[in-house]
Amino acid sequence: MTGDKSKLTDFVSKERGYATFGDNNKGRIMGEGNIRNQNKTQIKNLLHVNYSRFTWTLFFKTKNEAFDSFRKLATIIQNEKGLNIVSIRSGHGVELQNEYFENFCQENVIHHNFSTPRTPQQNSVVEKKNRSLEEEARTLLNETKLPKYFCADVVSIVCYTLNKLLIIPILKKTPYQLYKGRKPYISHLMVFGCKCFILNNGKKSLGKFDAKANDAIFLGY
């Protein structure tokens, strides 16, 4: 789907109702055509990145670590996909709007969009994902009666499972499948907080009848 006719050849005007975009907004279908050959691969890849909803979570002790964490993630994503990041969107927090981010975006030709303060609906997809991660993490912590200092482990496992299990309604595929190009492997998934066992791997001599494993609680992959 595109709003730019110049990206299409053999365009035929034909109103066919409405299409629903990734942010759940609707647009009128004005016609159809073919994607120009030289742009086909790039457009397909960009759509996959924009609409896959694949999510990463980064954890740091202070907001000063935000830039270094973002720079490492950006490098990983660009190397993995063989594409350049065109734009990013964030709020006006000092950890996101500063000289380091500005210089990085200028050097890498990245357009940094900012949402209006106290207007989360401008970045509704990310805000909704944040709420989903928080709500599900809170539920798991309360259900398993684990201390709150395990919150990073819980958010990580929630993000990991949502990428592999969440079905994007319009595309009928998971974020993992859209981003990676293959169906996720899920037979290893376990119930969070279930009892598990850590094998005593020979660090200490065991007596003839000593336990070969220690009891533990499953916190993630």
Token pair of 115, please? 């949402």
Vertex 125 angle, CA 43 and 102, to 5°: 75
Does the pLDDT value for residue 191 go beyond 70?
Answer: yes
Whole-Å CA distances, 79 to 83, 128, 142 = 7, 28, 38
Domain count, the chain: 1
In a domain, 219, yes or no: no
Report the distance separating Cα 22 and Cα 24, nearest Å: 5
The predicted model scores a pTM of 0.71
In a domain, 96, yes or no: yes
pLDDT grade, residue 182 (50/70/90)?
very high
In a domain, 174, yes or no: no
The lowest-confidence range among 8-17, 33-42, 187-196 is 33-42
In a domain, 107, yes or no: yes
pLDDT in tens, 121-133: 877 888 888 899 9
In a domain, 136, yes or no: no
In a domain, 86, yes or no: yes
In a domain, 99, yes or no: yes
Range of the domain at 100: 54-114
Write the DSSP symbol of residue 209: T
Mean pLDDT, the chain, integer: 84
Place of tokens 């989360």: 120
In a domain, 207, yes or no: no
Among left, alpha and beta (phi > 0; psi -120 to 50; other), residue 48 is alpha
